Copies of this chain bind each other. A is one copy, B any other.
């Protein structure tokens, strides 16, 4: 420790002052968020000239669609702070509103992007939230690579999780194809969804089988997530063109072919699962019936399952017939999960009614809350232990 200090001094001999270092490296001595042993969280932001600073956290009750917020309190130095009640274990997001301007917490560099929105994150440990932490256990690998999609006529970026031991084993693995929602991309599940942490933890606990998780980009007009592809940096939007027109479903076999010729996988129906959230649930439903003898496991998370007047692609011909075919071919699990407050709740009731009428079996989970990542992380951690058993 002493040595380091000596060296630090030597290292910065030519830097005039500590203030200079702060200017250079942006260091600030404010701690935010600070999580107490009792799981109360204190947030701080230095804003001496501000008249009003609010904190908006996703644990605060919203009023309709308006997110909840709380007033922060200013001290004599201009440091605003707010301490939460005890929070239950979860991964939370928050941001500041400084005189009405939305701002991330500069003292917390842990940020996630949801569509075009940046938010800070923190984790309150315990229970379910321990699945979202990096624990001292074997870890899988996460690769961003590019595959050739002849159907879409482009190279496309894809995120692949391989389980601990994959590289050194000669074993073949089952595969879960995990699809994002509208506004998402191949980064969504791995960042917002904490897929690598959830899988590492479930596998280490013996709850899920080691599997490969493939997270493709479901927006057929994109080669990659915004900023990661050949269109450069541009502002992501909630829903891009052609996301639900049948093109993705029709060419999904490009992804399966890529995975099955590039990874050591068990390339059969018993070892393929497909699941997705919202638009990805819609994709999963359609892909699994359009290729009705391909997946033994299907997961529909808060899925956008309502019938669409504009679904004119041949992919959407004879939905009932192909579902029936899928049922006759057999499958091991057809899993549906949705939150009671989800705006897609009614569409899911109607879809389940359709399945009931057809006699098509499914497993159903209903949670609190709405169309939110908190639920999708829970669904992923409930769904994956049921796979490949």
Contact = CB atoms under 8 A, between A and B. Distances in A.
A306 B14 CA distance: 12
A182 B6 CA distance: 15
18 contacts: A10-B308, A12-B343, A16-B64, A16-B65, A20-B65, A23-B65, A25-B238, A27-B115, A45-B101, A47-B100, A99-B99, A103-B106, A133-B232, A135-B230, A138-B146, A138-B155, A140-B145, A141-B143
A347 to B, nearest CB: 9
Given A47-B99, A100-B47, A238-B21, A144 B145 contact: no
A229 B134 contact: yes
Determine chain A's interface SS by DSSP, over half rule.
Answer: loop
A11 B134 contact: no
Contact of A238 (B27, B99, B101, B145): B27
B310 A115 contact: no
A122 interface: yes
A23 B66 contact: yes
B99 A49 contact: yes
Question: Which 7 A-B pairs give the minimum distances between C-beta atoms?
Answer: A26-B117, A141-B145, A20-B65, A49-B99, A14-B343, A143-B143, A3-B310
Contacts of A143: 141-144
A6 B232 CA distance: 28
A4 B47 contact: no
Interface residues of A, number: 103
Contacts of A27: 115-117, 237-238
Contacts of A104: 103-104, 106, 118
A117 B121 CA distance: 16
Nearest to A235: B107
Contact of A309 (B6, B140, B232): B6
A146 B118 CA distance: 28
B232 A310 contact: no
Contacts of A239: 4, 8, 11
A158 to B, nearest CB: 10
A265 to B, nearest CB: 14
Contacts of A343: 12, 14-15
A12 B121 CA distance: 27
A31 interface: yes
A242 to B, nearest CB: 7
A115 B25 CA distance: 7
A244 B8 CA distance: 10
A103 to B, nearest CB: 5
Interface in A18-54: 19-21, 23-28, 31, 45-51
A243 interface: yes
Interface string A110-142: 110111111001110100000001111011111
Given A27-B117, A101-B103, A143-B143, 6 more contacts: A10-B310, A16-B64, A27-B237, A136-B155, A136-B230, A138-B155
A15 B146 contact: no
A123 to B, nearest CB: 7
B100 A262 contact: no
A103 B103 contact: yes
A115 B133 CA distance: 21
A303 interface: no
